[in-house]
Amino acid sequence: MDPARALALLWRKEQEPTRPARGPRQGLTVDRIVRTAVSIADAEGLDALSMRKVAEPLGVSAMSLYTYVPGRAELINCMLDEVLGEAPSLRDAGGWRAALERYARGSMDIARRHPWVPPLVSSRMLMGPNETAMWDGVLGALTGTGLEEREMVAIVHLVNGYVRGAAQQLADADHDVRRAGLSYDEWYEKTGPLLETMISAERFPNLTQVWRSGVFEEPGEGLGPDRGFEYGLQRVLDGIEERIARRAAERP
């Protein structure tokens, strides 16, 4: 994989200067290919995304895609940046905390629409325009809080990490259950008896107590839909706020 070529593709800085060229016109565009690939990944997951499957609905052969895209890995890079374009703008969010909230929720929404995204984020050696814009936006929200640059970066990573963890958890549960071709109830019906003999109150007292409270059975970990996510997010932001306050106290 040539990083320079992959980067050029992400920013779509490849073909323009030489047009019109000699051969026949290109019948497709990178964007069309990327959008098709995204819809396939949304429906069937990244594993099921093959070059042949992308080519078919576009009416071309698999090898034809290689005229536009160096390979599967680079296509996935583009898909990621494509869907990151759905992130909300952080302009006029009203303070760093509101901006970070919007950022986190926006990322979570993307992860919900595109469950294949969470495992990919932060392979960030190759950033496309949308990912770059996200970074610029969230760093802008943190500018003026008195934090050092490296602290800002660490905070963005922190929020990213939290959102990804929460998103992947949802996606993975779905993935497992769907792969088994069962409903949640059927799943627990199959695994329940075995689980109960294994996870005894003597061996795992703390876990069984929490288990018995019924928290695990509610999607989103209780507290209503997505309150598990919101709760954790507020804790993250509390931690950041604490840090910002301390910074402000250190040098007023």
Residue with tokens 């050696």: 125
Report in angstroms how near the CB of residue 58 gets to DNA at its nearest: 9
- In terms of Cβ atoms closer than 10 Å to its own Cβ (0-12, 13-18, 19+), residue 104 is buried
Report in angstroms how near the CB of residue 76 gets to DNA at its nearest: 10
Residues 33-52 that bind a second copy (CB under 8 A): none
Residues 10-39 that bind DNA (CB under 7 A): 15, 18, 20-28
Give CA separation, 95 vs 89, 92, 100, 197, in Å: 14, 8, 9, 51
Q: Which is nearer to DNA, 44 or 149 (CB)?
A: 44
Among 207, 217, 219, 248, binds a second copy (CB under 8 A): 207
Among 44, 176, 196, 217, binds a second copy (CB under 8 A): 176
Apex 116 CA angle, 65 and 4, nearest 5? 50
Contact 51, 72 (CB under 8 A): yes
Residues 164-203 that bind DNA (CB under 7 A): none
Q: Which stretch binds a second copy (CB under 8 A): 16-24, 26-34, 101-109, 178-186?
A: 178-186
Report in angstroms how near the CB of residue 27 gets to a second copy at its nearest: 27
Residues touching DNA, count (CB under 7 A): 29
Residues 212-251 that bind a second copy (CB under 8 A): 213, 215-216, 221-223, 228, 231-232, 234-240, 242-243
Asked if 151 touches a second copy (CB under 8 A), the answer is: yes
- Over its C-alpha atoms, the chain yields an Rg (Å, rounded) of 22
> How many CB atoms are closer than 10 A to CB 181?
7
Backbone angles phi, psi at 199, to 5 degrees: -95, 85
Residue 46 interacting partner from a second copy, DNA, none (CB closer than 5 to 8 Å by kind): none
Residues 41-80 that bind DNA (CB under 7 A): 49-53, 55, 59-64, 66-68, 71-73
Residues that bind DNA (CB under 7 A): 15, 18, 20-28, 49-53, 55, 59-64, 66-68, 71-73
